[in-house]
């Protein structure tokens, strides 16, 4: 039976390459997939029932192997997409919030109010402009300068204000 099985598998190899190419759409990957499927078929030869469709059996092995590979790559790709972020301890969060509050208090009143309306209250620049009587451009400038100031306070860097 071993020689008959290997003969059937060898005769099926060109067809297997066609299936693999349809699945992978890549010549090198198709060769790898057809070889892997042939190895799996040889390893599982005892589970093949003589008299059943050999071609369908091998095709199922190939498709299952391909799907497992895709799933494995997807999981690793998704894991690679996740940025590694250090999680600060709770006390560090409280300290950061305290520092942010201190930095907000140091902002000029007009910048603090503009930032509060746009960022915290989530108002549009147009709505904030109506509420304050200031021009939209003025509010945008104040929010921009406030963000630069906060960033510099929080990071310890000097703000890069335009001349």
Residue 52 forms part of a structural domain: yes
Tokens representing residue 46 in the block? 């005892």
SS3 of the chain: CHHHHHHHHHHHHHHHHHHHHHHHCCHHHHHHHHHHHHHHHHHCHHHCCCCCCHHHHHHHHHHHHHHHHHHHHHHHHHHHHCCCCCCCCHHHHHHHHHHHHHHHHHCCHHHHHHHHHHHHCCCCHHHHHHHHCCCHHHHHHHHHHHHHHHHHHHHCCCCCCCC
pTM: 0.46
Which residue from 25, 124, 103 is spatially nearest to 66, judged by alpha carbons? 25
Looking at 52, 81, 110, the residue that finishes a domain is 81
Same domain, 56 and 113: no
Residue 140 forms part of a structural domain: yes
CATH number at residue 106: 1.10.10.10
Residue 110 forms part of a structural domain: yes
Range of the domain at 122: 90-155
Q: Domain count of the chain?
A: 2
CB 19 within 8 Å of CB 31? no
Looking at 55, 81, 107, the residue that finishes a domain is 81
pLDDT tens digit at each of 163 positions of the chain: 678 889 999 999 999 999 999 988 888 889 999 999 999 999 999 999 988 999 999 999 999 999 888 766 655 555 555 566 565 556 666 777 788 888 888 899 999 999 889 988 889 999 999 999 999 999 999 999 998 888 887 777 665 655 4
Residue 162 forms part of a structural domain: no
């Amino acid at each position: 039976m071993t020689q008959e099985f290997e003969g059937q598998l060898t005769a099926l190899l060109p067809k297997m390459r066609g299936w693999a190419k349809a699945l992978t759409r890549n010549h090198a990957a198709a060769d790898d997939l057809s070889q892997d499927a042939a190895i799996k078929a040889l390893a599982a030869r005892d589970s093949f029932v003589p008299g059943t469709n050999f071609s369908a059996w091998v095709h199922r092995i190939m498709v299952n192997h391909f799907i497992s590979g895709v799933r494995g790559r997807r999981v690793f790709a998704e894991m690679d997409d996740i940025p590694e972020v250090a999680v600060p301890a709770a006390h560090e969060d409280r300290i950061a919030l305290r520092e942010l509050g201190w930095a907000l208090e140091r902002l000029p009143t007009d910048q603090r109010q503009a930032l509060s309306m746009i960022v915290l209250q989530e108002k549009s620049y147009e709505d904030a402009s109506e509420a304050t009587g200031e021009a939209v451009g003025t509010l945008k400038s104040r929010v921009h300068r406030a963000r630069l100031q906060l960033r510099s306070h929080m990071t310890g860097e000097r703000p890069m204000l335009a001349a």
